Amino acid sequence: MMSPVKLEQMALAVIDIEAKAIADLAGRIGPDFVHACRFMYDCEGRIVVLGMGKSGHIGEKIAATLASTGSPAFFVHPGEASHGDMGMITSNDVVLALSNSGETTEILTILPLIKRLGAPLIALTGKIDSSLAEAADAHLDVSVEKEACPLGLAPTSSTTAALVMGDALAVSLLEQRGFTADDFALSHPGGSLGRRLLLHVEDIMHGNDSIPCVSNTASLSEALLEMTQKGLGMTGIVDAGGRLAGIFTDGDLRRVLDHGEVNVHQTGIAEVMTRNCKTVRPRQLAVETLSLMEQYKINSLMVVDEQQRPVGALNMHDLLRAGVV
């Protein structure tokens, strides 16, 4: 077993080598990258990703990233393509082939068939003069100075470079398509990511009789009673027309008490409430509400309609229970 120092040095060397491989990609973003993006953006079918071995694993990840960011894509194993899976590729598709050597036999075997279909071919290789690179309609150079493996054998830097180039394509296409958080949510409905992106305020807010609310003619004591009964640590205050005039929270109560003696029975809530308070709409995303609360350091919000009438209320605990935080 190597010493701890030697292990740490080895890890740092790998990171440095792979970081350089990524940095070198910046100088290769040019016309071919633009052509590749245009082929993929104009694609009327699907983006078909090919790759063998470790390149295949990277290809699967690239296909998944493309599909989840608005560019329909799937992975086809080149070896299986020679035994029937070529039928999955059509002339309306775009083919994205990964091969560090650019001479992967399984890919070259089906290359004439791809060309016969007329599907645009984008290649990510480490050899600009390879057979695959020369046959491509757009070639992206993902060559590396050396692999991070000390033997120079295990694909390390080369697979990292290909993965990063794939991400660059996916994100560029995302921007080109005007892909939004709502679009992203539709591709990720499950798990915590789905909850964060799909939940709207109306899904988790307290509504109807659970909304803490008093008239602007109420006393401070009446407001405190409403806060206690509803248990949200705040109450909204409405005017004669039912529109939100302000809010009073546990924090407001502490500030009022800090300023001296206050007669809770004689002091009107309108005298001590916070006016022009932050509000949200029912259809607003819960994750946007969380951002608003964090930005202004507030724990409770009133939910209002277009006429500024309270239709709900929520606090940070509601977001926590919903898994948004």
- pLDDT digits 0-9 by tens, 109-140: 999 999 999 999 999 999 999 999 999 999 99
Averaged pLDDT for residues 136-159: 92
pLDDT of residue 7: 92
Question: Domain containing 266 — which CATH number?
Answer: 3.10.580.10
Residue 291: inside a domain, yes or no?
A: yes
Averaged pLDDT for residues 307-323: 92
- DSSP-derived pairing of the beta strands 300-304 and 279-280: parallel
**222 and 94 in a common domain:** no
pLDDT of residue 261: 73
Residue 104: inside a domain, yes or no?
A: yes
Residue 193: inside a domain, yes or no?
A: no
**166 and 305 in a common domain:** no
**257 and 165 in a common domain:** no
pLDDT of residue 257: 86
Residue 188: inside a domain, yes or no?
A: no
Instruction: Please give the residue range of the domain that contains residue 26.
Output: 4-179
**273 and 132 in a common domain:** no
Averaged pLDDT for residues 78-98: 94
**205 and 128 in a common domain:** no
Q: What pTM, to 2 d.p., does this model score?
A: 0.67
**217 and 165 in a common domain:** no
Averaged pLDDT for residues 256-278: 88
Q: Is the pLDDT of residue 194 over 80?
A: no
**158 and 38 in a common domain:** yes
143 or 182: which leads in pLDDT: 143
Residue 32: inside a domain, yes or no?
A: yes
Residue 309: inside a domain, yes or no?
A: yes
Residue 206: DSSP 8-state: B
| Cα–Cα distance, 74 to 263 (Å, whole number) | 69
Q: Is the pLDDT of residue 207 over 80?
A: yes
Residue 169: DSSP 8-state: H
**285 and 142 in a common domain:** no
Question: Domain containing 50 — which CATH number?
Answer: 3.40.50.10490
Measuring CA to CA, how many Å separate 90 from each of 94, 119, 252, 285? 9, 7, 65, 39
Averaged pLDDT for residues 289-306: 93
Residue 293: inside a domain, yes or no?
A: yes
**147 and 41 in a common domain:** yes
The last residue of one of the domains, among 117, 148, 179, is: 179
Residue 192: inside a domain, yes or no?
A: no
Phi, psi dihedral angles at 89 (to 5 degrees): -105, 130
Overall number of domains in the chain = 2
pLDDT of residue 191: 61
**151 and 205 in a common domain:** no
State what percent of residues in the chain have pLDDT above 90: 79
Contact 77, 56 (CB under 8 A): yes
193 or 199: which leads in pLDDT: 199
**219 and 168 in a common domain:** no
| Cα–Cα distance, 133 to 152 (Å, whole number) | 22
- Containing 96, the helix (H) or strand (E) segment is strand 94-99
pLDDT of residue 263: 86
pLDDT of residue 151: 84
Give start and end residues of each alpha helix (H) in the chain: 4-25, 31-41, 53-68, 78-81, 105-117, 131-135, 157-177, 181-187, 191-198, 201-204, 220-230, 250-258, 269-272, 286-296, 316-321
With b for 16 or more beta-carbon neighbours within 10 A and e for fewer, the 103-112 pattern comes to ebebbbebbe
Contact 99, 162 (CB under 8 A): no
pLDDT of residue 193: 65
Measuring CA to CA, how many Å separate 170 from each of 65, 124, 214? 7, 14, 51
Q: Is the pLDDT of residue 176 over 70?
A: yes
Q: Is the pLDDT of residue 184 over 80?
A: no
**284 and 171 in a common domain:** no
Measuring CA to CA, how many Å separate 75 from each of 55, 94, 103, 305, 309? 11, 12, 19, 46, 51
Averaged pLDDT for residues 222-243: 95
pLDDT band at 321 (very low <50, low <70, confident <90, very high): confident
